[in-house]
Every structure is written in C-alpha cells, then in structure tokens.
Amino acid sequence: MNLFVALGASVLVSTAALAQTPTWSPPPESQRCPSKWGAQDERGSANHQKPAAVMNAAKLIKTGEVIEIGHVLSEKMPFFGTRRFDVHAKRTFMNQPSNRRGSNEEIVVSEIGQVGTQFDGFAHQTHENSWYNCYKVDENTTRTGFNKLGIHNVGALFTRGVLIDVAAFKEVETLPDTYEITVEDLEGALKKQNTTLQAGDAVLINTGWNKLWAKDNARYVKSCPGIGVKAAEWLIAKDPMLLGSDNWPVEVSPNPDPQLSLPVHQIALVVNGVHLLENLKLDELAQKQVYEFAFVLQPLKIQGGSGSTVAPIAVR
Amino acid sequence: MNLFVALGASVLVSTAALAQTPTWSPPPESQRCPSKWGAQDERGSANHQKPAAVMNAAKLIKTGEVIEIGHVLSEKMPFFGTRRFDVHAKRTFMNQPSNRRGSNEEIVVSEIGQVGTQFDGFAHQTHENSWYNCYKVDENTTRTGFNKLGIHNVGALFTRGVLIDVAAFKEVETLPDTYEITVEDLEGALKKQNTTLQAGDAVLINTGWNKLWAKDNARYVKSCPGIGVKAAEWLIAKDPMLLGSDNWPVEVSPNPDPQLSLPVHQIALVVNGVHLLENLKLDELAQKQVYEFAFVLQPLKIQGGSGSTVAPIAVR
Amino acid sequence: MNLFVALGASVLVSTAALAQTPTWSPPPESQRCPSKWGAQDERGSANHQKPAAVMNAAKLIKTGEVIEIGHVLSEKMPFFGTRRFDVHAKRTFMNQPSNRRGSNEEIVVSEIGQVGTQFDGFAHQTHENSWYNCYKVDENTTRTGFNKLGIHNVGALFTRGVLIDVAAFKEVETLPDTYEITVEDLEGALKKQNTTLQAGDAVLINTGWNKLWAKDNARYVKSCPGIGVKAAEWLIAKDPMLLGSDNWPVEVSPNPDPQLSLPVHQIALVVNGVHLLENLKLDELAQKQVYEFAFVLQPLKIQGGSGSTVAPIAVR
Amino acid sequence: MNLFVALGASVLVSTAALAQTPTWSPPPESQRCPSKWGAQDERGSANHQKPAAVMNAAKLIKTGEVIEIGHVLSEKMPFFGTRRFDVHAKRTFMNQPSNRRGSNEEIVVSEIGQVGTQFDGFAHQTHENSWYNCYKVDENTTRTGFNKLGIHNVGALFTRGVLIDVAAFKEVETLPDTYEITVEDLEGALKKQNTTLQAGDAVLINTGWNKLWAKDNARYVKSCPGIGVKAAEWLIAKDPMLLGSDNWPVEVSPNPDPQLSLPVHQIALVVNGVHLLENLKLDELAQKQVYEFAFVLQPLKIQGGSGSTVAPIAVR
C-alpha cells in the first residue's frame, strides 16, 4: 500500500465527511471476523460446493445443451485501467528428426485473473489493510503472489445457476448507463420468471450491458448499470455461491453515493466472503429465457492468485 | 519457420535415412486432407461435443463428487524448454473514497496454453508448414496469434471420461522412465477395469508419472512413459474426443525410434485432429478406482491461441 | 512473414501500379549487395567508428557541457502501433541478516529497442525477405532474436555530431505536420549555420516536432515532418554514421507518395546500411544553437536485437 | 515490504545478536540524513558530474581507442535469483504499399536495470523502510515505479575512470571465490600502477571474476571476491562518482560476517549515496594495462527506475 496516497486520502475524506455521512461504511473487523465459515477459512461462499450442490445442478440437465457465458479473450476486449491481454506468437520451431514436427506457442502478458470474463477471489479486494476473514495484506503479500486467499483454494464450481433478467423485467434491451438495480427489480424479475433463489446458487444478473462488449469499449468501462448496496445485501442474505453479471464490476458504477468506490466489492468479497463473476456474456441465456441451469466454472488454479480469467458454461 | 535450421535438419535426416527408414512418417496431405470433419473444419475431435455427449456424461453423475484433475499453477511446476509461469503481484492500490477500498492484482507472463495442465489445440503442431486439415502456418500466422485453428474455436467439453490405469494393470506405482505403452497394455487394463471405450470419450491414461510433479522436475521432463505410435493409432481408431495423460506429452518420450520427435503429437493433432491433454493429475482418480465419469473441461477462449492451460474435473 | 497478407498486398499494389508508377522503388539485390563494407559486413555505417572519429569529436569538447538528447522513458511516451513500455515495481524484499537490507527492482515489459529515443539496427527493416547486405530474414530469425545484424554488433558510437536546424531555417517553432524537408532546406540550414558535413558524422535534424512529446501523443504519431527520398539520398551521399531527428521515423510521414511506406527506412537501413536514431530531444541543442559537438551513443548490447532504446548525449 | 518476513527476521536476528555483535551496522538516520548533497537531493555522487569532470576526462583521450566494458545481453548471462532477460522476436510484419517494407521488433521481458552490466540507483536498496537521504519506501512506491530517487535523475556520466587491478597486484588471473579485498590491496595496486584517486572518479576494481561470465554461471553467482566494509569505507572517503567491479555485487559475497547481507550496498547506496556499477567486463582494460581513462556511461532514463542495464565504455 502506498501510505502517501493513503494519508492524502484520509485527509480528503475527513473533509468530505464533514459535509455528509456516506450511505454505507465497511463494518469494523469485530463485526465481520471470524467469518461464518470459520476463523481459518479462505474459501468463503465456495464452501457451498458440496456433492449436494452438484446433484441439485445435475438434475437440471435435461437436453444436454451447453451455453457458453464467457467472452473470447483478445486485445479487442474492453480493459479496466492499465490492464492488458497481450499475446505474442512464438512461431514454428522445427524439430530436426525425420518427421519434421513443427511447434508453435505464444507468450501471454496479462493481468490474468482480472481481464475478460473473470472470477474474483478474496485477495483481490480489501478494506484498508484487511481482507476477507481479516487476513492482513501486508503480512501475506510477496512479490510473486498472495500467501492467503489465493484463487487456487477455490476449485471448480458446479452448482445450480439462476439468471435474473432485470433488462427483460424493465422491458429494455439494455439498462441505462448508471442505473442502480433495486431490490424491487430483483423481486419483480424473479416473480416474472417464476424463479426462486436457493442457498448456494450462482446468481447471474442480466443488464444487457454485454451488447457493448468489443463494440463500444469506452462506454462499456466508463460506467455501467448494476446492483447497489441494498440489492447486494438482499442477494447476499439469500446465501449464494457467487454473484455475477454481464458488466465489468457486477455492481452499478459509479455508485450513486460519490463517497463510495465500488462498495459491493467490499460487501461481497471482504465483508461476506461471496465471490464475484464479471464480464459475463448473458445474451444467449436471456434470449432463450433460460432462468435455471447447471452452472459450471473452472478457475485456473493460480497459486496465490487474486482471481482467474474463466470460460464458464450453463448447461440445461 | 527458420529455414536455416530446417535445411540443416534435412541434411542430417537424409544422412540418417541412408542408415535406416523411420518406423513412422507423416502421411502426405492428399491422404489426410480434407479431414473427416470437412474441408473447412477447425474443431476436429471437438465436433463430438453435442447434447448427446453431455447427456451420456450427466447420467454418470451419481454422488456429486468432484475430483480435480488439474495441477496448481506456480513457478514450482516442471517446465518444458524455456517456458515459464511468472506471477508478479501488483500490490494494493488504495482507492480514495470514504470506504477505503484497496485492490490487488497480478501481471502474469507465461506461455499460457503450454504450461501446467494444458489442452493442446491444432495450431500448436505441424508437419512442415502444414497444420490439421492442411491449413498453412505461414499463411495464417500473425505476431499476435494464429488466424486458423485458434483454441477459441473449441468451446467447453462435457463428455464421458474414461481412465485407463496402465500403471495398475502393470502393478506398479509408476511406469518406467521411457516405457512405451502397448496396445496389449490398453486392452488388458480396460479388461481388468471392465471398461469399454465409446466414440467421443475423453480418454485419460494413468502412468503414475504425476507423482514426480513439483518433486523431481528434472526427471519429470527428461523423459516419460506413455503411448507410442501403435497405441495412439489404436486409441484414435476408437474415435475419442481427446487423449490425455499424467505426463508432459501424453506419449512416450523419447520415442524408441531416435528418428522420431513426438510422433503422437502429429498423429493426434495434425493427421487426425484429435486433441491432447497433458500434465494431468490422475492419482486421486486411480486411487479411488474411478474408471468412468463425467469429464468437464473449459479451455480459456484465447483468440487464435495454440492451446490453453486448464483445470479440468471428473464428476461421478 | 504472413504470406497471406503479402499476397493480398501484391494484388492491391499491382492494381494501384496500373494507375501510376511509384516515385521510388527499392533497387534489386544485385545493385545493393554486397554492401560497400564487404559481403560479410553486419555493421554498415558503424564501420566509421574508428579512433580518428573519436579524436575528431573529442577536440570539439571545449567547455565540458553535456546536453542530454534522449527522452525520459515512461508509459506517458507516445507509442507507435501496439508497442508499450510497462514497468511493474517489485517492491521491497527484506533480507533477514542483522543489517536489515531491503531490495527493490522492477520487471519491464517493452519492445525495448523500438520505444522512446531509439537506435535502429539493420534487423529492424527489410525489402521483402531481404535485409541489409542481402541477409535473409527467414534464414536468420529465431524465436529469441535475429542471428544476423543484431544490435550487439554495433558498439558505442563516439563521433562528430552535427545539428541541422531546419525549423530555425524555416523560421518556425515546428515544421508543419506532413512537411517534406527538401535538399534546399538542408543546404540552406547548413549555410545559415555555417556548418559543413563530414563523412562519419552523426547528423541530427531538428524539426521542432519533439515539442509534442508526451503533450499531444496522438498528433505526435499520426504524422510528422521530416526528410523524404531526395533529402535522404543527398544526406547518405555525404556518408554519415547515422541520421537522426526529433520525430518518430526520422523521415516525413505519411510519405507524399501514397504508394510508399516509410521509404527512407529502406534507403537507410536496407539499401545503404546507414543507422537511424529516432525520437530525439533536440530542443536544448537548437535553443543553444549548438550545431557541432561530440556525439556519444551507447546502444544496449542486446544479442540479436533489432535496435536499442538509448540515452545519447551531445558534449561541447 | 512483507512485515511477516520482517518480524520473523528481527526474531532471528535478536537471537543471533545475543551470540555476537555484527561487525557493522547501518548508522541511525540522524547520522546520515540530510546527505552532504542536501536534504532534497536525489542524485548523490552523480552530483560530481559537472563540466570540470568532463574536461578532466576528455584530456585523457589521446588515441581515440574505445574499450567496451559492458557485456552482451542474452539469456545466457548469469542471473541473480529469479531475474531474467527474455527476448521474444516479433517477426516480419509486411507493409502493403509498393515498396514492400518489412518490419521486425522484439518484446523484452526483463528486470531491466538489474540484469547484465548494471548501474544501481538509490531506489534499489534500503535500510528497513529508509532509502538514501531518508526517503521512505512506503511513501514513494507505486505499482509502476518509485516516486523518489528514480534512475532518470542521474543522467549521463562522463568523468575520469580509474582501474584498480587487484588481481594483477596479487599476481593471479582471478581472485579466490570469497576473497575480501583489503585496504592494503587497494593501496598496493594503486602504488604498483602509479595511479592516484581523485574526487569524482569512476573507480573500477578488477578481480578477474568476469572470466566466469557465461562460462560458469553457477559459480559466478554463488559467491565472488570483492571489497568488504573497510575497503568500501576507504574508497568512499576518496569521494568517487561510482564504484564498479567485474563481479555481480561489487562487494565480496558472502560477507565474512554471516550476520551481514551485502553491507557495501547499504554503505554505498543508502548511507553515502554512491552509485554502484556491477558485472563489468574488465579483462581488456586489465590486459592492456589501461589504468586511467575517460569513462562514459549512459543509463537508460527509466522514469522511477531502481537502476539501468548499461553498456559503458573506457576511452583513451
């Protein structure tokens, strides 16, 4: 952490705070630690991944149709900040024996884990120096990764998936650029779909935002519609395995409260230990009105990684 | 292609050839193109991925147990040649609003697709300048990837998986360092297991070699037991979706014929369009004697990639 | 080389050619090879670097004033195409002995050699498959560099430097965005400065373009004023050690002839074996009217590199 | 900094300390700050770089002979720890206009600044959280570099260079693997050479160690002969511009006192603000008995960099 920035920040904030109290603040460690999964836990909501979750999902497989909900990875994707996905082809090396076997590969330079369709681990986000379950960043960070909460702890996820099509409920192709999805929107959409949430679900929210993917990248990352603090707390009360959406941060950005920076990231990843799944491609699911399905996700087992770029699927 | 090396090679080889005819040679393009999947096909054996394959696999899910068959990715893995997997932590950036949200990520520099547990696409291997289905390397290669046969064409694989435990059949923990698995070994192991192969299966061969993973990396990559030309041709005649093993090239290395460089790579990827899955972690499947299961694999959708590092699972 | 692109190109061109003959074409190999420096030569104009050149330059050092003519390297630089200069800090690793020594470093990912103030070697540019002295690209290229004409062959350059201030001669701060510098401009500027060129000089041309550096990067790389075919041939006839300028390609871009892509790159690097020095910072030299000086350049000795990012100086 | 490691360390050390007092300890900040160059200074010994230094050096140029004292950069170099120098060729991109101009470049992934012949800046080394002139690491470090003491502050160095050939004085080709050079060795070698040191000199010490470069890399980095605490303090009392040697840390390694980790790095870079120049190629200078010369060094102007890989020269 850059303390200089940090100090500068607190000054700014205390000044701002005089004017107005933020609409949400991270709870003190005493109120969030140890997590409900135990003091040593590093997996959070992934602890829902048990044989029962698989069986519950498998019985939803009725036709064998696989629907891909991950985007293709290329330099044409929208990127957040300075992140990149650079592929440099390493062209044919010709092996000399008689069968004249040529071999190609590529070197990839990327914030793998935080580009494309991505699954956020708990080492990704903090409140001050504190992660999920109150592990400390400065005690567990090395030059080559994070000694606690690494994405390799999660393992594959195979559970019931639910699509909440808020765009369809609002009868729009795409929600407005900074629209905050409300609890009423979620309840209304679920009612319209005749879908109910269960503990351990992979809950995916369709905003229609993925229509901009690789078409208008500037607008895609400038803002986005999504859930805010209230909708996130309502969803997390349902005890999901993860929350995902077809936008870049799952949540609305910027937050309507100018004093808050992506608060749902803290509510999910830091306070409650619920994983996030970003930049999903949900148009096919929505168009086919697939609201309930077997959800399968295989994060790369990156030792100490903050997240993983992924290619999840819905199966029905 | 480096013609200088290439020319040097042909000289070497023609000299060698005087001494002896190789035990196998890549067939001429006229005998292998167009592929059985059609002249424009880029997916090869992945064309087996149809709803029927999913249903056939889903009915094998009886307990909901998920067994991970991918290794953790770290700098401690064995690497082939000059490949690497370097993770550089990008430590906490503190966002300044009142909720003091810190963010971590990492930059990864790696031959992603050709490190760790990896799934080989068809752009990876050639005979001379020619890929699967006779696409030409020099016509379809750019600085940033391959315009044909990219791994993004494959999509997720969800099919019946079969483990052939040759180590158990030979009653050893690990097959010898350069042991070539024979057709008889495969037939014997399948008979012992009372397992039969079906078209579209993910066929995984246990050699016990993964016991060396991250323990004796030098020995792990120096050689390995595995299938040779005959066993590969026998397996491919069964029309599988992919061939995998718990060693680095699926096949025996070095090949008993010193004139051949990994010929099974050409037989599978170039001649027949059958995918390969390398560096699997098969010890748990073997120890639990799980010979038939639902196999699920999600390759990263790298545009124009030669392969993908993966974290596949077996579900029963 | 991507033949597909190449073929597409020839078609385009032959069509265009019907309409009009290009104003310049690369000479056939028979007219440019072997180079005047000998059939095996890889150093071209760097062969001027001899003790006499150093002595000739050293006698110009009269006050000991050092003027830096290289830009600072950062992500804020203008970049050509997809090139980048990414620095990732590798923060303090604390060594455990009693003296508590901390160590910092950084990993840099960049087209080093082709970013910032840069010195072009002969492996950088070709006519078709042919380099300077008719070395062939496909015979001398590997995944890790170029087996001929590598920048490590050049060595440090210490010679007489001459500034030709064309902007001052034209009485403007900065030449117009696509202005082609003529032979008359060069002769006029030299006459006004009372400077003459000598064989082996480092010839630096001031256009004023560096005023846009890191201020208006989009305009900086979109086009630039500089020498064209005629001025380049006139300068090369003077037998310089290198040609440099305060713009990104030394030459005018786009070339007034729409059929030509940076022809001065071929005239200098491919046809005549004269090095180029790009993105110089010449404002201080120009403002102080330093037209003659000791020029010192130390290319990084990158084995097989196509060029080197550099920090040259003028000393008087 | 990883506090966990840090705390672990202090424990270790306090235990060790009971046994024995270290032979050297970093002085408290009160004794070293502000530096003699002023409280805001970031250039340290580079402040010696003034016109007088250039004139003093230029008058040593008598024949114009240039001797390169930097090594070629390649993957065959010895590397310290996990550092690397990876070059990935980006092969010919063919531009389509009529002149058929091909362009090659390469992507380089390396701890540029801390590989090969390298010049150490002050952001590279610390005592606890404190740099040269008591700038603090945690207040001045970002993901992309160091906000204080960046190598871009140094600029080109052009000064009198002196070679102290300790190997020749000891009448050996190469000093023993862990030999600590004494003050008597330095005095004896200077006397034998009939050379005297002046303030602002670039002082280069020949140990013969560079004979192992790229020949026995394992031995090259395992240990090395060089100066220790006493010789370093004696040299720094002469007020040099930099201290360099033909080994990897300039100083003896491991230090004879097992409680000390490269103490000369702290004495030079942290306590006294004297730059270090590592991995020099000094065999030619030594063989030709060139003890006094014009020394020229051009660090890459990497914004916020901890050091620079360089290609320095000696001119006589």
Binned at pLDDT 50, 70 and 90, residue D155 comes out as very high
A99 to B261: CB separation less than 8 angstroms, yes or no: yes
* Contacting B residues, span 125-154, partner chain C, CB-CB under 8 Å: 136, 138-142, 144, 147
C: neighbours with 3+ CB pairs under 8 Å? Answer: A, B, D
In angstroms, the separation between the Cα of residue A118 and the nearest Cα of chain D is 21
Give alpha helix (H) positions in chain B: 3-19, 29-32, 51-58, 137-140, 166-169, 183-193, 217-222, 229-236, 263-265, 283-287
Binned at pLDDT 50, 70 and 90, residue A180 comes out as very high
CA A65, distance to chain mean position in Å, is 24
B: neighbours with 3+ CB pairs under 8 Å? Answer: A, C, D
Give me the pLDDT at residue B19, please.
Answer: 59
Nearest CA in chain B to D144: B90
Q: Of D1, D88, D141, which has the smallest distance from its Cβ to A2's Cβ? A: D141
The candidate with the shortest Cα–Cα distance to B96, out of A22, A121, A179, is A22
In angstroms, the separation between the Cα of residue B292 and the nearest Cα of chain A is 17
In angstroms, the separation between the Cα of residue A72 and the nearest Cα of chain B is 5
Give me the pLDDT at residue B96, please.
Answer: 84
Q: Is the ipTM of this complex over 0.85?
A: yes
Give me the pLDDT at residue C13, please.
Answer: 44
Give me the pLDDT at residue C19, please.
Answer: 60
Nearest CA in chain B to A16: B98
Q: Is the pLDDT of residue B16 over 60?
A: no
Nearest CA in chain B to D91: B143
C311 to D296: CB separation less than 8 angstroms, yes or no: no
D104 to C141: CB separation less than 8 angstroms, yes or no: yes
A142 to D2: CB separation less than 8 angstroms, yes or no: yes
Tell me whether D310 touches chain C (CB under 8 Å). yes
Give me the pLDDT at residue A20, please.
Answer: 83
A: neighbours with 3+ CB pairs under 8 Å? Answer: B, C, D
Amino acid at residue number B174:
T
CA dist B261 and B278 (Å) reads 17
The candidate with the shortest Cα–Cα distance to C312, out of C69, C115, C77, C112, is C69
Chain A residues in contact with C86 by the CB 8 A cut-off are: 82, 84
In angstroms, the separation between the Cα of residue B68 and the nearest Cα of chain A is 8
Chosen from C91, C105, C135 to mutate, greatest number of chain D CBs within 10 A = C105
Tell me whether C108 touches chain A (CB under 8 Å). no
A3 to D139: CB separation less than 8 angstroms, yes or no: yes
Give me the pLDDT at residue A207, please.
Answer: 98
D143 to B90: CB separation less than 8 angstroms, yes or no: yes
Q: What is the pLDDT of residues B213-232, one digit of tens each?
A: 999 999 999 999 999 999 99
Using H for helix, E for strand and C for coil, what is the string for chain A?
CCHHHHHHHHHHHHHHHHHCCCCCCCCCHHHHCCECCECCCCCHHHHHCCHHHHHHHHCCCCCCCEEECCCCECCCCCCCCCCCEEEEEEEEEECCCCCCEEEEEEEEEECCCCCCCEEECHHHEEECCECHHHCEHHHHEECCEECCCCHHHCCCEEEEEEEEEHHHHCCCCCCCCCCEECHHHHHHHHHHHCCCCCCCCEEEEECCHHHHCCCCHHHHHHCECEECHHHHHHHHCCCCCEEEECCCCCECECCCCCCCCCHHHHHHHHHCCCEEEECCCCHHHHHCCCCEEEEEECCCCECCCCEEECCCEEEC
Kindly state the DSSP code that residue D306 receives in the 8-state scheme. Answer: S
Chain C residues in contact with D296 by the CB 8 A cut-off are: 156, 158, 296, 298
D: neighbours with 3+ CB pairs under 8 Å? Answer: A, B, C
Give me the pLDDT at residue A19, please.
Answer: 59
In angstroms, the separation between the Cα of residue D137 and the nearest Cα of chain B is 14
Retrieve residue A253's tokens: 């950005």
Q: What is the pLDDT along chain C (316 residues), one digit of tens a residue?
A: 333 333 334 434 444 444 689 999 999 999 999 999 999 999 999 999 999 999 999 999 999 999 999 999 999 999 999 999 999 999 999 998 899 999 999 999 999 999 999 999 999 999 999 999 999 999 999 999 999 999 999 999 999 999 999 999 999 999 999 999 999 999 999 999 999 999 999 999 999 999 999 999 999 999 999 999 999 999 999 999 999 999 999 999 999 999 999 999 999 999 999 999 999 999 999 999 999 999 999 999 999 999 999 999 999 9
D82 to B90: CB separation less than 8 angstroms, yes or no: no
pTM score, whole prediction: 0.93
Chain B residues in contact with C1 by the CB 8 A cut-off are: 138
Mean pLDDT, all residues of chain B = 94
Q: Of B58, B141, B156, which has the smallest distance from its Cβ to A89's Cβ? A: B141
CA B93, distance to chain mean position in Å, is 38
Residue A240 preceded by cis peptide, ω within 30: no
Tell me whether D107 touches chain A (CB under 8 Å). yes
Nearest CA in chain B to D89: B143
Q: What is the pLDDT of residues B71-113, one digit of tens each?
A: 999 999 999 999 999 999 999 999 988 999 999 999 999 999 9
Tell me whether C13 touches chain D (CB under 8 Å). yes
Tell me whether C94 touches chain B (CB under 8 Å). no
Q: Of C101, C112, C296, which has the smallest distance from its Cβ to D127's Cβ? A: C101
Q: Is the pLDDT of residue A243 over 50?
A: yes
Binned at pLDDT 50, 70 and 90, residue D14 comes out as very low
A168 contacts A188 by C-beta, under 8 angstroms: no
**3-state secondary structure at position B126:** strand
In angstroms, the separation between the Cα of residue B95 and the nearest Cα of chain D is 13
Q: What is the pLDDT of residues B29-82, one digit of tens each?
A: 999 999 999 999 999 999 999 999 999 999 999 999 999 999 999 999 999 999
Give the number of B-C residue pairs with CB atoms closer than 8 Å.
39
| Other beta carbons less than 10 A from residue C196's beta carbon | 11
To the nearest whole percent, how much of chain B has pLDDT over 90?
93
Q: Is the pLDDT of residue A3 over 70?
A: no
Binned at pLDDT 50, 70 and 90, residue A5 comes out as very low
CA angle D7, D11, D13 (to 5 degrees): 115
CA C70, distance to chain mean position in Å, is 12
Mean pLDDT value across residues A165-174: 98
Retrieve residue A205's tokens: 């929210």
In angstroms, the separation between the Cα of residue C60 and the nearest Cα of chain B is 45
CA dist B298 and A118 (Å) reads 13
Q: What is the pLDDT of residues D48-65, one digit of tens each?
A: 999 999 999 999 999 999
Tell me whether B15 touches chain C (CB under 8 Å). no
The candidate with the shortest Cα–Cα distance to B61, out of B157, B154, B155, B158, is B158
Give residues with Cβ within 8 angstroms of C44, minimum separation 6.
Answer: C35, C37, C122, C132, C133, C272, C273, C274, C275
Positive or negative CA dihedral for D163, D169, D175, D181? negative
Nearest CA in chain B to D94: B142
CA dist D35 and D41 (Å) reads 7
Nearest CA in chain C to A82: C86
In angstroms, the separation between the Cα of residue A295 and the nearest Cα of chain B is 12
Give me the pLDDT at residue D5, please.
Answer: 38
CA dist B226 and B220 (Å) reads 12
Give me the pLDDT at residue A52, please.
Answer: 98
Binned at pLDDT 50, 70 and 90, residue A97 comes out as confident
Give me the pLDDT at residue C11, please.
Answer: 39
A282 contacts A90 by C-beta, under 8 angstroms: no
Q: Of B54, B146, B315, which has the smallest distance from its Cβ to A89's Cβ? A: B146
Give me the pLDDT at residue B20, please.
Answer: 83
